[in-house]
Amino acid sequence: MVDEFSLIQSIQPKEKRHKDLMTGIGDDAAVYRTDHHAEQMICMDTMTEGIHFTSATMKAYDIGWKALAANISDIAAMGGFPDYYLVSVAMPSEWSSEMKEMYRGMEDLGSMFQMDLIGGDTTSSRSGLVITITAVGHAEQGKVFLRSGAKPGDLVFVTGYLGESAAGLALLLKDIDINDQKAKHQLIKSHQRPMPQVEAARLLRGIPSRFAVNDISDGLASEANEIAEASGVTININYQSLPVSKSLSQLDAHDQRRFMLSGGEDYQLLITAPEENSEVLRDVFMKHGVLLTKIGVVTRGRPEVYLIDKGTKTLLTKSGYNHFKSNKE
């Protein structure tokens, strides 16, 4: 088993990326100054071996990358800038030699957004690897995005492509297969090293408009229902409008559908915006090369989501990943 203090020394950052950070790793707690003109935000996510990954689907580097990506995505969905993160690891002996690689995955992703690692905890585990990350960020006052911000008449948008991560996992588990090796590599990469949409959140902050935002971690169907419930509105999604990547198009229609609607961990953003601001929204995203697609509308009604597919309208329930029930489709 790796020595805890040696591990801490090996992962201790050589520099501080934030001038407000006073004390990071190496003491009983981290200390940083707060900006009284900003809203502070904090979130936490846990990844558990056997639930979120196995040694067959994720290498240590990818586990670190993805665990931090999930937290950064939550900060982005709230309209925030990610600043700091803390890591708690429960580690079985068979993973001890891999810990530096896991932290390297976090460091490589965190450095893209100028995040500082400021602390955490390490302990042993007898039942698989468990990694919990707490991320701290901030948003400009009045620029926090909530799920409750959708109103009737809004349009519904999504960034990037959907379903690639779930397809990548299915490929790793050998539940499906495709002949196109380039597409296969892209889908697996989307699962192992997703990119949180910090840039999309930055673009939204620059547009004077009202938004409701949710990150797509548990699947489009689940996240759309969360916005509908929080806002007290009906969301209507046009299936033919969903953006299909070239890689996902290599799969049959049934697999494409289930991965786009119910596959999670894409970490794209689901956005509602007033129709009168939609042209500006699309122009800004196009100018910066960020894919944004209109996929539906918000209407008055019960807090529900409907899928419109070739003229047929059906109720779209929370069919994404749920930790506390069977997730078989």
Annotated binding-site residue? 309: no
Question: Residue range 240-258: average pLDDT?
Answer: 97
The confidence score (pLDDT) of residue 323 equals: 45
Annotated binding-site residue? 226: no
Give the CA angle between residues 78, 84, 90 to the nearest 5°: 105
Average pLDDT for the chain: 90
Question: Residue range 166-187: average pLDDT?
Answer: 97
Q: Evaluate whether 159 touches 247 at the Cβ level (below 8 Å).
A: no
Annotated binding-site residue? 147: yes
| Residue 305 neighbours by CB under 8 Å, 6+ apart | 221, 224, 225, 228, 234, 235, 236, 237, 315, 316, 317
The confidence score (pLDDT) of residue 16 equals: 73
Question: Residue range 119-125: average pLDDT?
Answer: 91
CATH code of 147-315, in short, is 3.90.650.10
Q: Which part of the chain has CATH 3.90.650.10?
A: 147-315
The confidence score (pLDDT) of residue 28 equals: 56
Q: How confident is the model at residue 25 (pLDDT cuts 50, 70, 90)?
A: low
Annotated binding-site residue? 120: yes
d(CA 278, CA 115): 32
Annotated binding-site residue? 215: yes
pLDDT digits (tens, 9 = 90+) for 49-81: 999 999 899 999 999 999 999 999 999 999 999
pLDDT digits (tens, 9 = 90+) for 271-284: 999 999 999 999 99
Question: Residue range 175-194: average pLDDT?
Answer: 97
What is the architecture, at CATH level 2, of domain 4-140? 2-Layer Sandwich (3.30)
d(CA 74, CA 80): 9
59-63, 260-264, 303-307, 319-323: least confidently modelled range: 319-323
d(CA 215, CA 271): 9
Annotated binding-site residue? 20: no
Higher pLDDT, 135 or 18: 135
The confidence score (pLDDT) of residue 29 equals: 53
Q: Which part of the chain has CATH 3.30.1330.10?
A: 4-140
Question: Residue range 179-197: average pLDDT?
Answer: 97
pLDDT digits (tens, 9 = 90+) for 286-301: 999 999 999 999 999 9
What's the predicted TM-score (pTM) here?
A: 0.89
Annotated binding-site residue? 161: no
d(CA 258, CA 212): 24
Annotated binding-site residue? 45: yes
